[in-house]
Structure 1
């Protein structure tokens, strides 16, 4: 079954197609043949503006994790020989702070349907039973429905194509590097190890199974998420050019948005766990 025939996704694709087509016609006097490409960028920015509350929740969750890191490290060190009690104390801490160890992780998936829609409108030959007019649009002579890897396989690469994709990949990679440097909080190296060791050494008892739920160790997840922008640079080479433009725009927006929100919420004024640990 074609996933784009699934009613909710089909509705989303139809809406994205209508918006991009309308924007493309609106921008054509200004952008000419690049109007559809510019329409994708404008749509991306519009969607990210709507998702600012999601970004705000992510920043708040990051601030909470940063603020609680020393307390969590202290509980893990104090109760490392009693993992059941440690889990109980950690859950009590999260409940007291009205947060969760996974807070801020799920919102990052909020824009995935939009990427799927943008991808869909540049690979579907027909939309709502009509010929997909967007498939005839291009950027500097590069079809928006064709990806770098496909052009490479067909031997259709040109200096312009190489330049455009080089710009996209470099922008995403630079943004990724800046994001890891500026936005990834330092965390105590012992936290994940202590919790992992405590869990491995914990006796399997009735209380540990039916009692307080374990606090998930998200250190690996957070580390993986910090590498996502780099992975995005690779993905941009495989998807249609329109989707690659979306990825470049959304990753750049994310960096700027997080910097602004961090300053507005004064996230940088909270010492990270590593600084507190070294100070103590």
Structure 2
């Protein structure tokens, strides 16, 4: 057992140093105007750490969105394969994987951001848990570890959990609120994806079943596990979920998948915007036309004629009697 713990510690050591380094940078910045030992400075440092991590994961999020969109768009082809090779599971699996490769789709890409965040999540958990016992990890000094472990936000220690509150109402209320916020944002993020950025064909296939499963399973997992997470870790995960919601809302609104409610809504917005901009030039033209109508017409000068043309015109005219 000790061997595996040493291996795990060796693997996680770089994360301890990276996370504690970013945490320390933010803490030094916030300590210029906040109490270094106060919970506000450490809570804002955790939020800053979260934003840095999520910004670093943006390329992975873009890849996730592209893969998720491809999964939605190829669902009609997947259904055709199921009808054609439904009797042969092995051939169906081969053809389906071939379709995934040709379309550049990874069915597991939607889980990558969460999977990559889990080591970070546990590293922060370990740093905060050790700090509560006065043990420093990474680049944190023993004094910083002690401050981090004893820091309180609104009178609630950041290192406490719901199950270790010992009847402390303040800890239980804050932990419960953060667990609810974490669970709700997880559910709403997944719900937003399914209701606005999935075409009708994608709502009935196996991919839809996977999404529906995640819609209810993930919030349940976070709700059950959240009662054992320290307040500081709950703060990290809730902030991360809020970032995900905002990021996904922006992508769905501005670059929705074809054939989805979000795509139709964007078309309507674009049409309304085009109509609004199209009226402006017409109004300007109309104003110009009115000005032109009000302006007096230029006087036409008589056409000059030669002497021969004048004689001919005078000779052909009626004679006075």
TM superposition score category, shorter chain reference: 0.7 to 0.9
- Other structure's SS at 2:98 match: helix
**Residues 1:101 and 2:101 are matched in the alignment:** no
1:247-262 correspondence to structure 2 within 5 Å: 247-262=237-252
Q: How far off its partner does 1:223 sit?
A: 4.1
Q: Which fold has the larger relative contact order, with Cα–Cα distance below 8 Å and residues 6 or more apart in sequence?
A: 1
**Residues 1:178 and 2:188 are matched in the alignment:** yes
Q: How far off its partner does 1:84 sit?
A: 3.9
List alignment gaps of at least 5 residues for structure 1.
193-217, 273-280
Q: CA RMSD in A?
A: 2.7
CA distance in 2 between counterparts of 1:86 and 1:136 reads 57
**Residues 1:17 and 2:12 are matched in the alignment:** no
CA distance in 2 between counterparts of 1:223 and 1:4 reads 37
Find the partner of 1:53 among 41, 56, 59.
Answer: 59
Structure 1 window deviating more from structure 2 (176-185 vs 73-82): it is: 176-185
1:79-94 correspondence to structure 2 within 5 Å: 79-94=85-100
List alignment gaps of at least 5 residues for structure 2.
262-321
CA distance in 2 between counterparts of 1:270 and 1:139 reads 47
Bigger radius of gyration among the two: 2
Q: What TM-score do the two structures reach when normalised by structure 2?
A: 0.66
CA distance in 1 between counterparts of 2:43 and 2:176 reads 17
CA distance in 1 between counterparts of 2:109 and 2:151 reads 41
CA distance in 2 between counterparts of 1:147 and 1:3 reads 26
CA distance in 2 between counterparts of 1:250 and 1:3 reads 29
CA distance in 2 between counterparts of 1:3 and 1:146 reads 26
Find the partner of 2:254 among 253, 257, 264.
Answer: 264
Q: How far off its partner does 1:224 sit?
A: 4.2
Kept in 2, the 8 Å contact 1:3–1:9? The answer is: no
Q: How far off its partner does 1:39 sit?
A: 0.5
1:127-206 correspondence to structure 2 within 5 Å: 127=137, 131=142, 132-133=145-146, 134-151=148-165, 154-155=166-167, 157-158=168-169, 160-184=170-194, 185=198, 187-189=202-204, 191-192=205-206
Q: How far off its partner does 1:167 sit?
A: 2.7
